[in-house]
Copies of this chain bind each other. A is one copy, B any other.
Amino acid sequence: MAKEKKFVESITSRDEDFAQWYTDVVREAKLCDYSSVKGCLNYLPNGYAIWEKIQQDLDRRFKETGVENVYLPVLIPENLLKKESDHIEGFAPEVAWVTQGGGEELQEKMCIRPTSETLFCDLWARSVQSYRDLPKVWNQWNSVLRWEKTTRPFLRSREFLWQEGHTIHATYEEAEERTLLMLKVYQDFVRDSLAIPYVSGPKTESEKFAGAQDTYTVEALMHDGQALQSATSHFFGSGFPDAFNIKYSDKNNELHSVYETSWGISTRIIGAIIMVHGDDSGLVLPPRIAPVQTRVIPIAQHKEGVLDKARELTDQLKKAGYSVKIDDSEKSPGWKFSEQEMLGIPTRIEIGPKDIEQGQVVVVRRDTREKIVVSLDEIETKLGEILETIQKDMYERAKNFLDAHIDTAVTMEEMKEKFSENRGFIKAMWCGSEECEDAIKYESGGASSRCICQGEDAVSDHCIYCGKPAKHMVYFGKAY
C-alpha cells in the first residue's frame, strides 16, 4: 500500500505551507518546470493542455464579439518603444535588448516585446486612412518577455504566454464600450469556465497600465487569502494613437483621432486555477477547462472481460463527445486513483468484475470524492450531469470562500487587525491621493489597492488614512 500513497505524500499540506504546496503540485502534476534559461519556464504537456483549453474557450468568446486574430513581430525597435512617454518609462527597465544580428552589431537595438501596443499603433499609422478602415478589433496569442528578478511557476517569469487584444475605434464611446465588453468577456470566462469568483472594477491611477487612461481588472482570491490580478482591459483614449499619428478622415474628409483599447489574460490564470481549487491531493480542474474530463480505471483488470469492457466504455464515452482516457497500465488501482487525483481530472470511472455483473460503474468526483453508482445504460447522460454539478459546486465553494473573505474597515487600526487575522479583501474609503494609497500599503503590511468598488454602499465618508473626504471605496488586498 505504500506505493499507493506516494503521490499524496510527495506534496506538502496546503494549510501547512501554501507556497510549498503550490510548488509541489506544479511539480507532481508535471505542469511546468524551470528551464536552463534563467527566469523562463518550460510549459510541459499537462500544463500546456490546460492553456490550450483556455485558448479555445476564450478565442471562441472573442470571435463572437468580432475579434480577428493576427501576429505581429517579436521585436520592437527602440525608437518605436519610445514614442509614448509613459509607456517607455513603464517598460524600458524590464526589457531584453537584441544588439547583434546575423553576425553584426545592429545600428538600432531592438527589444523583445514586453507588450505590443507600439507595434499595433505603428501598423495602423501606415494602414488606417478613412472611417471605412475602422474599427480594428485585433488579437494575438503569443509570448512576451519582461526581465523579472524572481520566478514562480505561472505567476511570475521572464517569458510568459498570453493573448493581447488591441483595438482602435472612430469614437471615444465605441472604444470605451469595447473596453467594458472585453472586461465582461473575461468576467464570464473566469466565472463560468474556470469556476472562479472575483471582484472587479477600475484600477487606481498608480495601478494602471503604463500609458492607459483607465484600466479595469478582474481580481480573484487565492485559497491563502491573497489576491491575483487575473485579466485586465485598458482604455487609452486617443493619447497613445495620437503619439503615433493615427488619424482617419470622416465622410466629409475631416481628420480625427482614433480611440484605443487593449486587453489581456496570461498563463498566470493557471496559477489561479491551482490556488483557488487545489487541495491536499493535488490539482482540481473545473470540468469545462479540464483537458481530460474522466479517466476510466479498470479494477482487477487481469480478470476476464474487465479490460475489454473498460475499453468499450472508453470508446463509447469518446463517441458521446467526452474527453476520456483509460489507464490500463500495470500499476495498482490505488496508484492510479492517486495519479488521477494529482492531475485534477474531474472524475474517474471505476469498473470491476462486480460492476460489470451488475451492469454499473462507480463514478468518483475529484472535488468531493463522492462515489456515485451509475447504471451502464445511463452513463452517457449521467456523466455529463455529474460534470456540470462539479462545475457548479466548485464555483459555489469558491464563491462562499470569497464572500467570507471580504470585510470592511473604517480605521487603519481596524484594517491592520483584520489583515493580521484573516487575509482577503478589505473594502475601505480612500481620498484619491497616491500618498495615502502608498501609506495604506506600507502600514497594512503590503495590501495594495486591487480595484475601485462600483455601485456598492460606502462604509464611511472619509479616507481611512488621512481622514479627508473620500473619493472612492477601494478593495485592498495583498496580492501575488
Contacts and interface: CB of A to CB of B under 8 A. Distances in A.
A109 B99 CA distance: 10
A340 B123 CA distance: 25
Interface in A63-84: 68-77, 80
A36 B68 CA distance: 21
A143 interface: yes
A37 interface: yes
Contacts of A76: 37
Given A99-B99, A101-B96, A77 B112 contact: no
Interface stretch (A45-53, A186-194, A309-317, A348-356): A45-53
> Most chain-B Cβ atoms within 10 A of its Cβ — which of A35, A48, A73, A76?
A73
A183 interface: no
Nearest to A132: B329
B37 A49 contact: no
B102 A147 contact: yes
Given A77-B36, A123-B35, A70 B44 contact: yes
A210 interface: no
Interface string A69-111: 1111111110010000000000001111111111100000110
Contact of A73 (B35, B68, B77, B127): B35
A73 B42 contact: yes
A390 interface: no
A466 B92 CA distance: 60
Interface string A386-413: 0000000000000000000000000000
A40 B75 contact: yes
Nearest to A106: B96
A122 interface: yes
Interface in A387-444: none
B35 A72 contact: yes
B36 A48 contact: no
The 7 closest A-B pairs by CB, nearest first: A102-B147, A45-B68, A40-B73, A43-B71, A97-B100, A96-B101, A37-B73
Given A37-B73, A37-B75, A103-B147, 11 more contacts: A35-B122, A36-B119, A36-B122, A43-B71, A44-B70, A75-B159, A95-B102, A96-B100, A96-B101, A98-B99, A112-B112
